[in-house]
Structure 1
Amino acid sequence: MLTGMQIAVLGGDARQLEIIRKLTELDAKISLVGFEQLDHAFTGATKEKLDEVDFSMMDAIILPVPGTNLQGEIDTIFSNEKITLTEEIVSETPEHCTIYSGISNAYLDQIMSSTNRKLVQLFERDDVAIYNSIPTVEGTIMMAIQHTDFTIHGSDIVILGLGRVGMSVARTFHHLGGRVKVGVRKSEHLARVTEMGLVPFHLDDLEKEVENCDICINTIPVHIVKAGVIAKMPAHTLIIDLASKPGGTDFRYAEKRGIKALLAPGLPGIVAPKTAGQILANVLCQLLEEDFDSGKESSS
């Protein structure tokens, strides 16, 4: 239980509702910022403006999956008001206050460093990333079906990267009958792709490997699907970029060539927000309980 714990939830999308629901079940006291347009009420949760929150009382701050942008602004679908996490706000919190986010960036890292606060990136955890790959794969299948006039079965599919998302995407598209090739760099990943019964290739050969590609799915968060690669693709190729913004694709050149390229980060929050929110809520509440229990032990 989280009885007595005070938590600020700042902005977000429908996934945050599952987190709030779980926190209230565990009896935490919650300040909701950026939820003015939310009709649903949660017992133990209070809607507040950012400047109304007493951050000196907060044991934890929960940010949305994307965290903030590079100016500290936080996206929310439940309010039209701008929410900005500043160094001043974080410095007001007690020293034990932990900030939770899906991912981080240079802005958040700098604030955590200057205020000496702990930041937990949920998507750095293998369990969260692996569970989250399930709705990501389903969303990728949905996009592939919506934006092509051919079946996945029998299509030539190039997948870039064999991380936690890449592995799930490769396996599923193979089971759907796609002819899957996976581009990687590490020798152990080449071996793993072979063990999975798929066709591996080194990313140095990417331009050659996309010459007959029907669907290219990128999971690598660096600029890898460059103009030279896109120039080698057939005109009907669909590019789905699952990497975090700004993705790894030259979208300008793809548009110039008439190739459809879709940037699709955050698919779980779009196609299955309830499931994606439950995944985050379960792990987050476990971490909060551990922190809360250890805090009580140290103060006793």
Structure 2
Amino acid sequence: MESEKTFIVAGGDLRQLYLARRLSDFYKVIITGFDKCSDASDVLLSETDDNIADGIIFPLPVSLDGKNLNAPFSDKTLLISDFIPKLKKNSAVYGGMFSPEISDIFSVPVYDYSKREEFSVINAEATAEGALQTALEKSDETIFKSRILITGFGRIAKALARILLVMGADVTVSARKKSDIAWAEIYGCKAADIRRLADIAGSYDMIFNTVPVLIFDKNVLDNISKKTMIIDLASKPGGTDFGYAAELGIRAVLASGLPGKLFPVTAGYTAADTLINMIDERRTGFD
């Protein structure tokens, strides 16, 4: 245990709490921004002193407004800049989805763990399982024999396609890149060019979107049956015109951020394991 190192885990949702618990197996951990969270009673809560931290670990996302810490379990407004004095010389800052404005206020290295491949892969699997859970809860039909369209074919779509195929769904992938279409076919899916989305979207019982731009616009939605359910997994605001879908009577659900909402333990431990790798790489000079 590298007990000589101290890390502040600042703000965030339950993922950060489980992250702190995992990190405490290796380092001294202080958490802040959890004054409203009863589950934090077994982790050290402290008004931290200055110049004590070898690193600060911010949440994913770090901030919702570009200035204040994303801290849903705190009654206080916590300025991110107020954490600068807590850092020792030769320290570092970690977190997820730093904006350039936030990164620039620190004079020490800033590392974004959400860009790491080991984090992204496990996060994609958790998102896919969460998408399946959402579908089962909101649909009155089985996945078995359902005609399902997945738009996009990145990590999340690949994990989701694998699960749906095993469950006996008839899966089509709509993507832009020819390489993604080829991979979809190798996975055992049918495939279609996403530029034909308006022509094909009306043929499915369920649609999962992973494309983070508006692709289910009025033109596409006009061709979708009211019996079809859209589960949009893209980051807010998603890739669906939800207002127009509601006008048409189409069930459309924005289901972004599923790992943190449904699986905070797995999400927190995954982030912690990624951070442990990053901290070790920095220590050994391989970052």
| TM-score normalised by structure 1 residue count | 0.86
- Assess if the C-alpha contact under 8 Å between 1:36 and 1:47 holds in 2: no
State the alpha-carbon separation in 2 of the partners of residues 263 and 120 from structure 1: 29
**Match of 1:112?**
103
Other structure's SS at 1:59 match: strand
Other structure's SS at 2:124 match: helix
Other structure's SS at 2:101 match: helix
State the alpha-carbon separation in 2 of the partners of residues 252 and 36 from structure 1: 37
Other structure's SS at 1:41 match: helix
**Match of 1:100?**
94
Distance 1:281 1:186, change over 3 A: same
**Match of 1:75?**
70
The percent of aligned pairs where both chains have the same amino acid is 31
Does residue 26 in structure 1 map to residue 26 in structure 2? yes
Which of these residues, 256, 260, 268, is aligned with residue 247 of structure 2?
256
- Assess if the C-alpha contact under 8 Å between 2:33 and 2:71 holds in 1: yes
Shift of 1:138: 1.6
The letter of the residue matching 2:62 is G
State the alpha-carbon separation in 1 of the partners of residues 172 and 239 from structure 2: 18
The letter of the residue matching 1:99 is V
- Cα offsets for 1:212-259 (capped at 9, x unmatched): 121111112122221211111101211111111221111111112121
The letter of the residue matching 2:249 is G
Shift of 1:53: 4.6
- Cα offsets for 1:109-161 (capped at 9, x unmatched): 12323544433222212211111222212211111111111111111111111
- Assess if the C-alpha contact under 8 Å between 2:66 and 2:102 holds in 1: no
State the alpha-carbon separation in 2 of the partners of residues 165 and 191 from structure 1: 17
- Assess if the C-alpha contact under 8 Å between 1:22 and 1:285 holds in 2: no
- Assess if the C-alpha contact under 8 Å between 2:209 and 2:232 holds in 1: yes
- Assess if the C-alpha contact under 8 Å between 1:103 and 1:123 holds in 2: yes
Range with bigger deviation, 263-272 or 77-86: 77-86
Distance 1:27 1:268, change over 3 A: same
State the alpha-carbon separation in 1 of the partners of residues 32 and 162 from structure 2: 40
State the alpha-carbon separation in 2 of the partners of residues 277 and 114 from structure 1: 26
**Match of 1:38?**
37
**Match of 1:62?**
57
Which of these residues, 162, 175, 178, is aligned with residue 166 of structure 2?
175
**Match of 1:128?**
119
Shift of 1:182: 0.7
- Assess if the C-alpha contact under 8 Å between 2:53 and 2:86 holds in 1: no
State the alpha-carbon separation in 2 of the partners of residues 89 and 21 from structure 1: 21
Shift of 1:267: 0.7
- Assess if the C-alpha contact under 8 Å between 2:6 and 2:27 holds in 1: no
Distance 1:96 1:259, change over 3 A: farther
The letter of the residue matching 1:101 is G
After TM superposition, the structure 1 = structure 2 runs for residues 178-189 of structure 1, keeping only pairs within 5 Å, are 178-189=169-180
- Assess if the C-alpha contact under 8 Å between 1:183 and 1:203 holds in 2: yes
- Cα offsets for 1:88-109 (capped at 9, x unmatched): 64487456332222323xxx21
Long gaps (5+) in structure 1: 296-300
Distance 1:282 1:114, change over 3 A: closer
Shift of 1:175: 1.5
Long gaps (5+) in structure 2: none
Distance 1:256 1:84, change over 3 A: farther
**Match of 1:298?**
none
After TM superposition, the structure 1 = structure 2 runs for residues 1-300 of structure 1, keeping only pairs within 5 Å, are 1-28=1-28, 30-39=29-38, 40-42=40-42, 45-48=44-47, 53-54=49-50, 56-86=51-81, 89-90=83-84, 93-94=87-88, 96-104=90-98, 108-292=99-283, 294=285
Other structure's SS at 2:191 match: strand
State the alpha-carbon separation in 1 of the partners of residues 9 and 155 from structure 2: 27
Q: Provide the alpha-carbon RMSD of the alignment.
A: 2.2
State the alpha-carbon separation in 2 of the partners of residues 191 and 203 from structure 1: 13
State the alpha-carbon separation in 2 of the partners of residues 129 and 153 from structure 1: 28
- Assess if the C-alpha contact under 8 Å between 2:116 and 2:274 holds in 1: no
Other structure's SS at 1:137 match: helix
Distance 1:96 1:166, change over 3 A: farther
Other structure's SS at 1:222 match: coil
- Assess if the C-alpha contact under 8 Å between 2:56 and 2:87 holds in 1: no
